[in-house]
Structure 1
């Protein structure tokens, strides 16, 4: 996986106590037991790490780690423009 996945996984491991062995690209927020408040905290942690803003619909119970990682990777691609929230 790319840089985005590493960032997502590291935030979950370091700040939310998730076990690395539990995380896969298809893992969802529900799978890691993040409630609605923890989802907001997770989005803020990602924003602090990446400088990207994540909307409520980008981090939901059904969102997979690979979907979040793809957002991060797309913003890092050469010539990519980050859409305003």
Structure 2
């Protein structure tokens, strides 16, 4: 996995108490029991921790964690 992916895993674990073992690239936020309020909070954390902004509707509950990682890497200009 990429450094960005690992950073996102760390953010979920430390800021949202998600069990590291549950986080997989193909896991949806819904499968991780994370609601729409979580997604708003996550975008705020990304803005603070990674100094980047994503639109409020950039991710939804049915998106996968891998999709988020790709989206963030694209915004940061990182190649996976």
TM-score range, shorter chain: 0.7 to 0.9
CA separation in 2, counterparts of 1:72 and 1:37? 19
Worse overlay, 53-62 or 14-23: 53-62
**RMSD between superposed Cα atoms in Å:** 1.6
Count of residues in correspondence between the two structures: 78
- TM-score, normalised via structure 2 length: 0.84
Partner SS for 1:31 = coil
Paired residues for 1:1-85 under 5 Å: 1-74=1-74, 75-77=76-78
Q: Cα offset for 1:45?
A: 0.7
SS in 2 for 1:56: coil
4+ residue segments displaced more than 3 Å:
none
Q: Which structure 1 residue ranges, 5 or more long, are not aligned?
A: 79-85
